[in-house]
Structures are given as structure tokens and as C-alpha cells.
Structure 1
């Protein structure tokens, strides 16, 4: 380990073409808080907000393919009913898109799969849509994802390829790629997301958004996710204030989940200092594969700036710290893939393999070979990995890594064009760790990395989600980022 007390003083900047972007100087409340306040004070009608979202989707989505289904008539009717009453809730009148992994009553949940193209409409809202709607949000449609959410780019055989609004040749990431693209393009103020291996953090990073994977058991599970102990609902947003509000709405107990403590909203897990005592810096725990030059340069600058912001010493982690990557990936894959086959049904998976996208086919075909002893051994090994990260972070240390170990992925699922071996590198996905161990992690917009934005990932001790949001707000004040991709306008009324 190497500890450095002196850090270069650098200032992160967005590429000069964004220097005059009006969103940089906009109020940091963001479109969620702004829209809700406008409807609550009757400055605008809820129907105005919904119709504006539908107009933006109609105009912008053909180039991005982020939205896969709409409920326009129902949304307008709900908005008119709200306008005829007293607007209530922290999200009153705010249009929302829902990732098509989550249930919305009256809409099919197709999960990006041709095998579910004729799925029956859901009978009940999933937890995230239900909690958002309880606060007055209005669902206008659904967003794209890779088939069964098992890939880091958003493309499937049912709805096609989803593109990044920052650079159309590139993917917005996955699996919440459609949601991130829609928010970054200003189609809606809110689009829901889930994270079982970086599926909030990676799309947020590639689309210039802030996103948080909460501490596991901060947000209850309903219905039970396919990856039982790995996947969680969580928010992504254009500003930290919006992100904090959304997490506070999503967080809390739900009958039937035995692992979530009673109560609602963001809760603390102990006393933390205003600033960390040390920033641990690692490159993703790969087995010696270096980061691409663009990513390494962006990460060095961003992590140095974050350390300076926190006024704390830096400790550089070596390869294999805090856990060996091969061990981590093996535990994650064994748990996630075996649970996915069980959730879908072994016979159903076997019969449908040949109709799946190559990524889903590979993931689930390999899972069919996992036996009960191997699965249970992985569950036990997860506790050792979690203990290693608990010991590393203690109560007052933070871990900085790149959110993604590549300067973008091509929209169709290919590697970065600068990758010399012509395939996606083994160390691209550096965010399995927090999904296995359950620690909270936030991705912060930190400038550009080639054609797409770069995200700095900060991981903290369990239940320090509020602390991470406080530090993110401090970062945002010092390094404001655009509230929409270049060439797009933030959602405003």
C-alpha cells in the first residue's frame, strides 16, 4: 500500500464545447424538484408536465430508442384528475418512465425478451413505481434494457439497440440504459433503475448523471428480484438534490421482506465525520490488466480532485485489494445466474435458449450447470468478501474507483474502438463488488472520457448513504455538470 499526503491541485473541467452550457449554471434542484414545485403551486398543470414529456419522447426517442412502451391516455387522464383536486405528494405531477424489468399495473413486463413479447399486463405495481406514484408521480411509459438485465449494454432482440444521447454510436450502458438515456436527453425528470452488478452506476456514468446503488436492505424488495440478495432498486438523476429525494422516497420497509428494518426513508448507520479520514484508491481489483489510457487519466484526475475536496490522505490499493477479482466474479456469477434460472424456471430457460440474445443465452446456459453445493458455497463465500470490505472501510474511510473501466461501449455491444484486441476487456465491469458485499456506492459525473462522460465511483461503509449524498453535493457545488447531454435541453416547464 502507498499513502500520499500531498496531492496535485487540479481542476476538473468539462470539454470546452460545454463551457457555456446553460444547464451547468441552472439551479441544482433539478427537474424533479422543479416540476413538482411548479405543479404543487399551480404555476403549471400536471397535464402540462405529462404532455410535455410525451412530446419530448415523440421528438427525441426515434434517434435513441430508449422508450419501449407508452400509456399516454392513462397518464393524461391521471394528470387531469390531479389538476381537478389538491396536488399532493413530493412528486405531484412529475412524469416518470419505468424500466421494463419492473411491474406497472396494466402494462406488460417484457424484460427485453422476445420470449415475453406477449406477456400479460401486470396486476400490481412493483415497489418503485408504487412508491413514486404514491408521492404523485405519473407513469408515462417504460424504458429499454438488455434481455433479462444480464448485460452492460442496452440492446436486445425485442426492441433493438438503445443509443447514448452524448454520442449515438455508443451505448448508454446497462442494464438501466434506457432510463439513463431518457433522463440525460431530458425526455422525463425521472426514470427508474435497478442495480445488481452496476446497472444504475454504469448507465449513470456513461450518460453524465449521478446515481446511487443503496446499501442492500435500504430499499425493500417487491416483487422479489431474480438476483435475490444482489439486486436493489435505486435512483439516478441529473442533480444530487433530486437523487436524494428519490432515494428517500424509495427507501424503507415493506411487508414480506424480512431483511429491511422498520421505517421509511434514508436512515443512518452510525456516526460519520463530516469528511473521511482516508481515501482508498483502486482501479477495480482486476488481475493486473491496466486501465485504458483515457480511463486511467480521467480517474487519476478525478480521484485527486475528490481527495483534495475531502482534505484527506490517499492510500493506493494494490492488485487483489480488498478482494481478488476472480473470486469476486465467481461468487457473483454463481449466485446471480443460478438464481436467475430458478426464477425463470429451468425448463422454460432450456426451451427458450435458442431465441435469446447471445448475452442472455451465454449467461443462462452456463447457469444450467451450477449445482446446489456450488451455489451454497458461493453464498458462504460472499460473507468473507463482505467482511474484507467492512474491514477496509471501517466507519470513516471511502473507496474511489472508476465507475466503468472503459471509455464507452459501442451501441451494438462491441468494445471501445480503441481496444486493440477487438473484444470487451475483462476489467470493464468494475462494479460487481458493491452488489456482492452490499455496500453503498455513488457515481459522480467527472468530466469527459473521449466521446462519453466519465464517472468516479465512491463506495462507503454500510448505511452511510446519506453521507455519500452529502459528499456528492459538495462535489457538485465545486464541479457542476450539465443537466442534459450536449444538444439536448433539461426537462423544464
Structure 2
């Protein structure tokens, strides 16, 4: 339904407006769930965002939420908000398949993962599991189990990944909140390609259990249509959980809130030689707007090549460990690219891995010192536009490495700072382009304040009120 006087549907309106409708009685969680399910029914066959749907649970939870709102006893500010969960995160009663036919994981999970548990406790409405690459090993969302997930702005192109199903769903009104994971950019890459907001918080801010295969590179985090929606989701899923050995306690802000861009100290990475011309144009536009708003801008060079050398041993070792958990007779069922990375891990020496860990420590210390000088760091999220669906990268080489075209995101998995992808413009061909904002460790809330100001500054079209998003309209072309 579209409410009288409103231009947006329940499936795409901001969460704060949706909850306001629940509170006033102008709309109900059941009506919202029906709209979202109808969108999934109409779009999922073309886009492949969801790999498992549970409509009975969806409508049961929506009805329970509706009853609470009618009694005036909602469980939380997000009671009744529909959400999806990447199929690398456990949901009680449903198998976690990790995009793999080799795993043969048909046993339902006994417990909700922490982020799912927090949303369930808050009364949010579960929709289903979203697609991923196999074990989240690459920057796209195609897998041997579920096939290719496509970009809602142009289904011939990739959604990005590995949380591609989550970003695709958020962009098209197939669930306001989306839980994803990020071991090297897997929240931010698809958020950038699909024109939504994705955030890797400070490592440990969002509790995770079981721990990710890449250990302290792995993060669970939110994807949503707007910064405000993402902040509401983060407030819910970042609450502590004793099962996560690496969880960090909630911290009190040590610096005053950010209420304006004037005087904000912004370090930016121009790096235009790496970027598609359309990406460079968007970066220059954002930098110009920040300058006009009174921000203090400084160019900063990041150690991107060094970060790549450090990441490779971590990624290879984690992939090798994962492969060893699968019986050898099933290895032929694994994604070919995954197998190749695992094979490189088999040849990795203990000393090479230890050297990578020590280099990571020094890299984190160095970047932390640099960021003490600034309020926020601005980079492109990705230097390229979405490429053909089903490929590993934009080039013609079948063996292309996703890290070759993704130089900006994984640095902050290594160094643990919070990093957020924000849609900031479109290419000449109408594809979304994201920027990345990074803050000091533990300043997740401050990063969201800054991102909200920048979001209003750039006025990305997919965030403008309208009954159908730009990404959905593109599906009609």
C-alpha cells in the first residue's frame, strides 16, 4: 500500500517513518510485511537476492508485532521492521549453507547468531537468508549453491559481494534491515555497487558467534537504505553478547558530537590514477561540496600496496583452513577460485604468516596515529563501476583476483577502524558510485553522525522520497 499523502511505500520508506506509522495506527507490521514479501515475489527471480524464504515465520512475527503496537507495548524502536540475514550468519531452525554445495550443511542451526538474536529480541520481522559467494571468499555474490546475484540497477551486472544478496535486497525494498559480513569489504563493496549504505564497525563492536573464518578480519554488520536506518539497526545489533570472545564493550563518546561540516577535519585520498573517470568525478564533487561547507581538507596517501601484501597471507591461510574442514572427496564441488586460494595457503610457511601478523600490527599502529589528526578519512569505496555478472572482475582474465580491483576496503579490516560505504552519485550510465568514510577505532557513533551530514550534502537520488527507488525503476528498462 501507499499511504495517503505519502510518495513512498511501506517497503521503501525510512524506518523512522515506518515505525511512526505503526505507532499512529496508519499502517501495521502485517501490512508492511505483506508489501515486502510482494516485492520479493516480484523481484527475486530476476535478482536472486534471497536463497531461503520463510513466509510463515514472517507473517507470524509480523502479527505478533502488530498486536504489541496495538497494545502500546512494542519491544523496541524497531519492532516490526522486516530484515534479512546473509547465509553465513546463523538463524535458529534454518541451515547455514555458506553458498556451498560441498559443505552439505542441511542441519538446522540450534541458536541465533548474536545479531539475529538482538533483532529477534527487538521484535523485528525475519524474512529469509540472502545470497553470498562461497564462504564469502570473493567480492561478488555468485556461488556454486545459489548461482549469480544481480545488480538491481542493471541485472546484467554484478551486485558485488560477498554480501551481495543483502545489498540487492536493501536497494529494492526487500527488507529494510540486512545483516551481512565483511572480511575484506564484503559489506561495503555491494553497498557501493547497489547504491545503499553498508558499515563495518570497529572490530568486535557487533558481536559475532561462531567467529568468522578470517578471525579478526571478519565482521558482522548492517546494510540499509540510509544512514539513519543503518544507525537504528546498529543500535540494536551492537549490544553485547557473552558468546563473542572478541566483543568490545560499549564506549562513552570521548569527543563532542558532530553537528555540522564546517571545521570538520577531513583527510582525503584523491588517487585518481586508480579510478574510473566517473568515480573520480564523484570524488571531486564530494570534495568540492565539503570544501564549500567549510570542512578542512588534507590529502593523505594510504599504504595500499603494503596492506595488500599483508592481507594475502591472512586470506590464504583462512581459506586453506576452511578447505581442510571439508572432506577431500568433496573438494571438486568447491568454487574453483576458492580452491586455488586454498592451495596457495597450503604452501604458506609459518614464518611468512607470522611476519604478516607482525606487519599488520605495525600498520594498525601507524594508521591509528595518522587518524588522530583528522575527524574522518574519505576515500573512494571502489575505483570501478559494477562489471558483468558472473565474472570475478572487470577484466577478461578468468583467474582475476577480486583484490586487484578492490584496493580501498580491506585496509580497514586489517587495522580495525570503522568504515562505511555511502552512495554519493551516479556514473554517466546511471550506476551508483559509493564513497568510503573511516573514523578512529571505537568512534562508530561519531562516524554515523558525519556520514549523515555527508549524505544530506550529496543528496543521493536513491534516498529521495519516491514510491519506487531508482534501482527498481531500472528493472523496467
TM-score by length of 2: 0.87
Q: Matches of 1:341 and 1:90 in 2, distance apart?
A: 42
Q: CA offsets per residue over residues 346-380 of structure 1, 9 Å max, x none?
A: 25265443211233222222222223333232222
Query: Deviation of residue 258 (structure 1)?
Result: 4.0
User: Is 2:205–2:249's contact at 8 Å kept on the other side of the alignment?
Assistant: no
Mapping for residues 382-397 of structure 1, pairs under 5 Å: 382-394=360-372, 396-397=374-375
1:82 aligns with 2:62: no
Q: Matches of 1:116 and 1:357 in 2, distance apart?
A: 12
Distance 1:312 1:75, change over 3 A: closer
Distance 1:372 1:254, change over 3 A: farther
User: Is 2:199–2:420's contact at 8 Å kept on the other side of the alignment?
Assistant: yes
Q: CA offsets per residue over residues 236-276 of structure 1, 9 Å max, x none?
A: 2112211111111122322143443434xx75354577656
User: Is 1:196–1:435's contact at 8 Å kept on the other side of the alignment?
Assistant: yes
Query: Deviation of residue 197 (structure 1)?
Result: 0.9
Q: Could you tell me which residue of structure 2 aligns to residue 456 of structure 1? A: 435
Q: Matches of 1:100 and 1:79 in 2, distance apart?
A: 22
Q: Could you tell me which residue of structure 1 aligns to residue 14 of structure 2? A: 31
Tell me whether 177-186 or 478-487 shows the greater mean CA deviation. Answer: 478-487
Q: Aligned to 2:285, which of 283, 289, 301?
A: 301
Q: Matches of 2:329 and 2:287 in 1, distance apart?
A: 47
Query: Deviation of residue 44 (structure 1)?
Result: 2.8
User: Is 2:172–2:469's contact at 8 Å kept on the other side of the alignment?
Assistant: yes
Indicate the structure whose relative CO is greater, using CA pairs within 8 Å and at least 6 residues apart: 1
Q: Can you give the 5+ residue segments of structure 1 that lack an aligned partner in the other structure?
A: 1-21
Q: Could you tell me which residue of structure 2 aligns to residue 46 of structure 1? A: 29
TM-score by length of 1: 0.84
Aligned pairs, how many? 453
Q: Matches of 1:81 and 1:459 in 2, distance apart?
A: 39
1:375 aligns with 2:353: yes
Q: Could you tell me which residue of structure 2 aligns to residue 336 of structure 1? A: 315
Query: Deviation of residue 37 (structure 1)?
Result: 3.2
Q: Matches of 1:347 and 1:143 in 2, distance apart?
A: 23
CA RMSD across the alignment: 2.8
Distance 1:221 1:327, change over 3 A: same
Tell me whether 213-222 or 332-341 shows the greater mean CA deviation. Answer: 332-341
Question: Secondary structure at 2:435's aligned position in 1?
Answer: strand
Mapping for residues 340-355 of structure 1, pairs under 5 Å: 340-342=319-321, 344=322, 346=324, 348=326, 350-355=328-333
User: Is 1:154–1:411's contact at 8 Å kept on the other side of the alignment?
Assistant: no
Question: Secondary structure at 1:235's aligned position in 2?
Answer: strand
Q: CA offsets per residue over residues 399-433 of structure 1, 9 Å max, x none?
A: 211101111122112544xx698967824342111
Distance 1:377 1:91, change over 3 A: same
Q: Could you tell me which residue of structure 2 aligns to residue 268 of structure 1? A: 253
Q: Could you tell me which residue of structure 2 aligns to residue 326 of structure 1? A: 305
User: Is 1:177–1:203's contact at 8 Å kept on the other side of the alignment?
Assistant: yes
User: Is 2:177–2:230's contact at 8 Å kept on the other side of the alignment?
Assistant: no
Question: Secondary structure at 1:114's aligned position in 2?
Answer: coil
